[in-house]
Each structure stands twice: as C-alpha cells, then as structure tokens.
Amino acid sequence: MRAVYMQEPHNVSMIEMANPQPGAGDVLIRIHRVGLCGTDLQSYRGVDALTNFPLVPGHELGGEAVSCGQNVPKELFPTGSRVTVKPYFNCGHCYPCQIHRINCCENSRTMGVQMQEGALCDYVAVPYQNVLDCGKLSYEEIALIEPLSVGAHLVSRANIKEEEYVLIFGCGVIGSGAISAAYFRDAKVIVADVADEKKETAMAMGAVAFINPQKQDLRQEIDRITGGAGVSVALECIGIAATMAQAIEIVNFAGRVGYVGYSKKPLEENATLIVKKELTIVGSRNALIDEFICVKENLSKGKLDFRRLVSAVYPPDKAFEAFAQWDQHPGDFVKIQIDFE
C-alpha cells in the first residue's frame, strides 16, 4: 500500500508498505481522507518532543470499513460503512483511566505521533472500540470530526450553558470546534483573532461577533457587544502565553477559563487575580467518544458549513508539498486534507 513516510523532520516521502494485518478485534479501514493536524506540522518541524520517528503521520481520518476481525460484532461495521477513529489509546491502569477520563491517560499514545502507524496510508487496522460509524457524511466531513471534537471537549470541560457570553481566542479548526459546540448549546460566542480573514469562518461556525484585538480594544468591544454584561467564559484555543493570561484578565468575576492550546513559553499565572475573581480554570486534552458522537450528529444536522474549514486538498504523492507549504505559510491554511481516493 501507499504510505506517506516521515523519516525525520523536513523529510517526507511516499513509500510502499505492506498492508496491515488486522487482529481478531480490529476493523480494517480503507483511508479516503486524512486531515493534517498542528501536531503533524510540529513533527515536521522537529519541535514536538512526543513524536517517535520514523513514522507514518496522521490521525484525523475518514475511511471505509473493509473487513472485521472474528471478535468484532458484525452488525457494528458492515462492509462499506463510513467511519472515523478515536486515535488516542490509553493504558487502562493509571488514575485518569480508572476514573474514566481516558482522554488524559498518563500513558496516552496517539496514532502517527507516539505510535508510528498513522493514518496517511491506504489502510489501517484499528480496535473496533475506537471506531465510529459516521452514517452518510462525506469523507471530507468525517476527517474533520476528530479536531472538531477536541474543541467540543473544551466546551464540555468549561460547562458552557445556554445564553452565556463566551469569548474564544483563535479561529483555527479546534477553535471552530469550540465555536460550533458552544453554538449548539445556544451560547453567545464572541471570537477574538488577529486575522480578519477568519471573521467569515467564525460567523459561519455560529459566532455572534468577531473582534480583531490588534485593531480594536478587546474589553471595549466586549462591553459594547454584551451591553456591559461581559463574558462568563473565556476559552484559549491558540497556545500563546499572552492570550492565556488575557483570558484570565478579561473574564468576569466567578467566571471560567479553559485552555486547549499548548503554550511554547512558560505561563506566568496571575494567582492574585485568579483568587480575587474566584475563577475556575480547566485544561482540556484530546476528546472522549461522547464528543465524537456529538460532533458527528452536529455535522449531520447540516446547519453549519463545516466544509469551509478545508483550505486545501492534496493527493498523497504531493504530501511533502503540503507540509512544506504549510510550514512556510501557516496563516494561509485552516485545514489541509490529503485525498487517498
């Protein structure tokens, strides 16, 4: 089979590999679409400490069930079923696993990161417990489920409620997942992003307002939009220390702050302000199967045009070009997908 192979940072090529041999509890999946994740870009740049080179990258997939092992209930994934995969694998023994928070397993491994067998290839074999039937969604949409679910998990962690004003920093794919998940909870979402071209996407994902903090005063605009009520929740989906600190400063007293982005620099929290405002601060990592199901259902409703998040599509033999272009011009892309059809 064809596979996109990352030998080392900045070294991506197409190779031939043997087809995977599914076990008794596995589903063999033919890959149709794979989204490139920010982690894949970090691996390409050589700055992700968790990447286990050499590897086949990729974990945001849309594919077709080809066959099932003998221990897989046959009714779950009939041949031809459109599926995606929850690509994180937990140890089952650590404390988070024991309390059913398997998304933040202490020994978590992700396809195409710690696990060398990723999704940028013609076929993958995955334990059926990690496979999700996606009905009639397009493969393009199915490959968006995982990153959108990461944003949805952040919304769950922040316990966003109906009619709340929510400020979301960043309108990439994970930010868009948070925007849309909050929208489906009937919250009122304000998006802050320094790229004006993201405004159209933010509004299409369900935001009620967009602010460019480089051109507008963030606090003044929030007061104007909310009629002075402010925001009760602030979610940081970028991973920049400055905006992580700003979330604490801008959110209301007794508010909630959620972080999903990994800051490249140490974060200096204003502990005095956190205590004074009695803030609830949560981290968010990966997603649970419930969020995958919720995102799948939201996609199926057809209320929002999630396909607009896909900025470019490359064939697998041009994957090296996709990585190079993204590396050189990261602001030009929201989501790149590789089409294996």
pTM: predicted TM-score of the whole model, two decimal places = 0.95
Residue carrying structure tokens 């046959």: 74
Amino acid at 47: V
Q: Which pair of structure tokens corresponds to residue 298? A: 């939201």
Kindly report the CATH class assigned to 151-283: alpha beta
CA distance 7 to 305: 36
pLDDT in tens, the chain (341 residues): 999 999 999 999 999 999 999 999 999 999 999 999 999 999 999 998 889 999 999 999 999 999 999 999 989 999 999 999 999 999 999 999 999 999 999 999 999 999 999 999 999 999 999 999 999 999 999 999 999 999 999 999 999 999 999 999 999 999 999 999 999 999 999 999 999 999 999 999 999 999 999 999 999 999 999 999 999 999 999 999 999 999 999 999 999 999 998 777 777 778 999 999 999 999 999 999 999 999 999 999 999 999 999 999 999 999 999 999 999 999 889 999 999 98
Cα separation values, 117 from 30, 57, 152, 313, 340, Å: 14, 7, 26, 22, 16
Torsion of CA 12, 116, 238, 179, to 10 degrees: 110
Q: Which pair of structure tokens corresponds to residue 282? A: 């949560």
* Alpha helices (H) in the chain, listed in sequence order: 38-45, 95-98, 139-142, 145-157, 173-184, 199-204, 218-226, 241-250, 271-277, 289-301, 319-328
Domain with CATH 3.90.180.10 in the chain: 2-143+305-339
CA distance 286 to 102: 9
Strand 188-192, strand 209-211: pairing: parallel
Domain with CATH 3.40.50.720 in the chain: 151-283
**How many DSSP H helices and E strands does the chain contain?**
11, 17
- Tell me whether residue 319 is exposed, middle or buried, using C-beta atoms within 10 angstroms of its C-beta: 0 to 12, 13 to 18, 19 or more: buried
The answer as to CATH 3.40.1790.10 being correct for domain 2-143+305-339 is no
CA distance 66 to 52: 28
